[in-house]
Amino acid sequence: MEGRIDRIKKQLHASSYKLTPQREATVRVLLEHEQDHLSAEDVYLLVKDKAPEIGLATVYRTLELLTELKVVDKINFGDGVSRYDLRKEGAAHFHHHLVCMECGAVDEIQEDLLEEVETVVEKRWNFLVKDHRLTFHGICWRCSDNRAEESIDHKGNSKDS
Q: Which stretch binds its own copies (CB under 8 A): 1-9, 37-45, 56-64, 113-121?
A: 113-121
137 binds its own copies per the rule CB under 8 A: yes
Distance (Å, whole) CA 124 – CA 127 = 8
Contact status: 152 vs its own copies (CB under 8 A): no
Q: How many CB atoms lie within 10 A of CB 145?
A: 10
Instruction: Report d(CA 58, CA 69) in Å as an integer.
Output: 16
Are the beta carbons of 36 and 86 closer than 8 angstroms?
no
By a kind-dependent CB cut-off of 5 to 8 A, residue 57 interacts, out of its own copies, DNA, none, with DNA
| Number of residues counted as binding its own copies (CB under 8 A) | 33
CA distance 50 to 40: 16
Nearest to 6 by CA among 27, 29, 33: 27
Q: Does 148 bind its own copies (CB under 8 A)?
A: no
The listed partner (DNA, its own copies, none) that binds 121, CB under 5 to 8 Å by sort, is its own copies
CA angle 40, 46, 49 (to 5 degrees): 140
Q: Residue 63 or 140: which CB sits closer to DNA? A: 63
* C-beta closer to DNA: residue 84 or 94: 84
**Residue 122 CB, nearest approach to its own copies (Å):** 8
Q: How many residues does the chain have?
A: 161
Positions in the binding site for its own copies (CB under 8 A): 74, 76, 78, 98, 100-101, 107, 109, 113-114, 116-118, 120-121, 125-141, 144
